[in-house]
Structure formats: C-alpha cells, structure tokens
Amino acid sequence: MNDNETFPENITSVFERHSWPMGLFKEFCPSALYIDRYVNAVWHIIGLFTNPISAFIWLNHRIRRNNSSAIYLAALSITDFMFLWLHFINELQIAWGISTVAHAGICELYNFIYMIPQYLAPIIVLGFTVERWIAVCKPFHKERFCTVKRAIYVVCGLIFLSSSLASAQIYIWNYDETHKVCTYRDTNVTPYSFTEVWNWLSEMSIFGGVPICVLIFNILVICEIRKITKANAIQLPHQTSSGSNNAASTITLLSVSFYLIFTTLPVALVFVIATNFEHGNGFMTDDEIRADPQWNRFFTFMITRRCIEGICFSHYSCYFFVYCLTGPQFRKTFMTFFPNKIFQALNNSSQGRYTIVTGNGRANNESCTTYV
C-alpha cells in the first residue's frame, strides 16, 4: 500500500471485503479472471495430452539412440507435464477460490515443488542450445560432449540445480493460522527483504538471463550454419541421410529455443514493470475504487498482464506441434504408432456396434451391413 493512504474508521480494507486476487478481479476487472479461468484451462487440456505423447516418442529407443537432443526434449516434455498439474492446483485456489494448498506444511512443500519445473524448463532449453552450439560451432568436441550418456548426466544436474534454487520457497512461504491462507513468511515485504531480493534475482536470472543466453547461442549457431553453407555450397539433393537428420534436429531445437524466448521474456518484462502500477488506496468504497484513476490504471495493467501471461503460457503445452512441424522423424513416429492405436480402438469398439448378416442368417464377407 502507499504510505500516504488514509484509513477511514468506518471503511474496511478492500482486501478484507474481496479476496485476492479472485474476489477483487471478479468485482472490478472480470476479464482478468476469465483469462485465468478459461484461457489457461485450454492450455491445460492441450498440454496434459500432448506432453506425455512427446515424452513417449522422444524416449522411443529408435529416436533416442545416438540422439542426445531426444533426452533433453523428453525431459522438457515431462517437466512441462509436471508443471501443468501443479499449476492446475494453483489455479483452483487463485481463479476458483477452492482451497488446495492453504494447510500447514503443504503450503511450503507445494511452493517448493511448484518452482522446480518453472526453473527447470528454461535451463533445459539452455542445455540443449549449448549442446547444439558445440555440435555446430565446435564440431571436434561433438563426440565428447554431445552424447546420450552425457545428456542424461546434464539433465540430472539441472534437476539438482533447480531443486536447490526452489528450496528457498520453503522459507519464503508460510501458512498463516490466523487468516487461514498460504502467504509470505515476511509480514512486511520491503524492497530489501530476503523475499523481495530473492524473487528479483531468481526471476531475472532464470526468466530473463537464461532466455537471453539462449538467444545469443542461437544467433551464433545460425551465423555458423550460414558460413558453412556458403563455404561448402551445400546442395540439398546431395545431402546424406545423416546430414538431413542433423539439419532437421537443428531446426527443431532452434524453433523450441525461439519459442521459449518469445514466451518467456515478455512475462519477465511485465514482472519488472509491475512495480510502476501499484494499486490505489485500499480504504475506499467499491464505487470510489471504480472512479479512482490509480485503481483503474492498476486494473488495466492487470488485464494486460493476464493477457500476456495467458498467451505466453502456451509454451508449456504446444511444443508438440513444433516437433510435428519441424521434426520429420518425430512426425513419422507419431503417425506410425498413435493413429494405428486409435484405429485399432475404433475397430474394436465398432465390432460391438455392427454385425454382418446375410439372407440365410449366416455371417458372410460379401453381405450388407446392418446396425444392431
């Protein structure tokens, strides 16, 4: 709250009259609440189906054999799947007002686990981006660093790093017995409190610094590919199968990297400028809040922020479509395996719905089909 706020004795705080954020959004900017409820729900539904499929395909022995990138992409799919479930639990509380984590012990544990996939996803992308940079720009080191075994070790190391960073949430969050809410342990979060400093450092490092590093490595890879192409005058009809696979793999990894950049940096930017859009005096009536310029500025920003976050949230769900568009081997495996399973299921179910009959009542291959 602002230091110059006045506190009329006969008016309770707006944060006591309306819960944060669901109650406040529902009363003053329902558009932000609708985005939380319905746009994110679409991404949840898509991602909870596509991420397991992606992980299954990347872990297929034929694809991951001698393909270290498959390990990173499988880990990314599993990470995104894990995050979507955790985010769904959070949405139940934030957007729908259903108490899910507001319990002693669960509050701290949940926020610890909740941050692990959020930290892990960007640094996994950074991991395979660096590996692709080694493969393209430092080809003599490829046999040493770009192996399936090393990729597994790197992913395990990144999981440990993410868990270590997320462990700070155990201290930051606390269950408030008085108000029955999961909230910051620090009752007075100042610009230099541990909570505020840690949030800034982690947000800007993981969601700002890491995507920028990914962008730099991508630019180096693209520049090197252009140099190699010009120097060798590569002609596509004479490419080997191995060369084609490497090119397709590079395109897939670059696409995933740029997708992460374009959907992570805007969210980090919004986080940075959020301090310039503080809410107004909390001790106002609802009508006064609706007419207050500072509150209106705050609500406009929150709607804009929710729109940006809603669009950028797609990267947790839509990598599958990037893989299908840019990865011929991934697409071929998907079309080979899953449609066959779907058709088999449909055929099995259709046997219970149809029967073949002939004029003499006996089954025959050359007869008409009759619904039962």
pLDDT for the residue 353:
43
Check: CB of residue 123 under 8 Å from CB of residue 211: no
Whether 217 maps to a domain, the answer reads yes
61 C-beta neighbours (distance < 10 Å), count:
6
Domain membership of residue 222 as a residue range: 14-326
Q: Residues of the chain with pLDDT > 90: what percent?
A: 54
Spatial distance between the Cα atoms of 112 and 166, rounded to a whole number of angstroms: 5
Instruction: Please name which of 150, 136, 268 lies closest in space to residue 210, comparing C-alpha atoms.
Output: 268
DSSP classification of residue 352: T
Whether 57 maps to a domain, the answer reads yes
pLDDT for the residue 366:
35
Burial class (CB in 10 A: 0-12, 13-18, 19+), 267: buried
Calculate the average pLDDT of the chain: 84
Spatial distance between the Cα atoms of 158 and 168, rounded to a whole number of angstroms: 16
Highest mean pLDDT among 43-47, 102-106, 194-198: 43-47
Q: How does residue 64 score in pLDDT terms, banded at 50, 70 and 90?
A: confident
pLDDT for the residue 228:
83
CA distances from 223 to 71, 220, 309 (A): 26, 5, 31
Whether 343 maps to a domain, the answer reads no
pLDDT for the residue 343:
53
Q: How does residue 3 score in pLDDT terms, banded at 50, 70 and 90?
A: very low
Say which CATH number the domain at 158 has.
1.20.1070.10
Q: How does residue 90 score in pLDDT terms, banded at 50, 70 and 90?
A: very high
pLDDT for the residue 352:
43
Residues in the chain: 372
Q: Could you tell me which residue, 5 or 295, shows the higher pLDDT?
A: 295
pLDDT of residue 364 exceeding 90? no
Pick from 1-5, 119-123, 125-129, 304-308: least confident: 1-5
pLDDT for the residue 103:
87
Q: Is the dihedral of CA 319, 324, 330, 334 positive or negative?
A: positive
Burial class (CB in 10 A: 0-12, 13-18, 19+), 366: exposed
Each residue's pLDDT tens digit, 19-29: 888 889 999 99
Whether 371 maps to a domain, the answer reads no
Each residue's pLDDT tens digit, 209-218: 999 999 999 9
Q: How does residue 358 score in pLDDT terms, banded at 50, 70 and 90?
A: very low
Whether 46 maps to a domain, the answer reads yes
Whether 348 maps to a domain, the answer reads no
Whether 341 maps to a domain, the answer reads no
CA distances from 147 to 52, 67, 74, 96, 366 (A): 24, 7, 15, 46, 56
Instruction: Please name which of 99, 77, 239 lies closest in space to residue 176, comparing C-alpha atoms.
Output: 99
The total of structural domains in the chain comes to: 1
pLDDT for the residue 176:
84
Each residue's pLDDT tens digit, 296-353: 999 999 999 999 999 999 999 999 999 999 988 898 889 888 766 655 654 565 444 4
Whether 351 maps to a domain, the answer reads no
Q: Could you tell me which residue, 80 or 187, shows the higher pLDDT?
A: 80
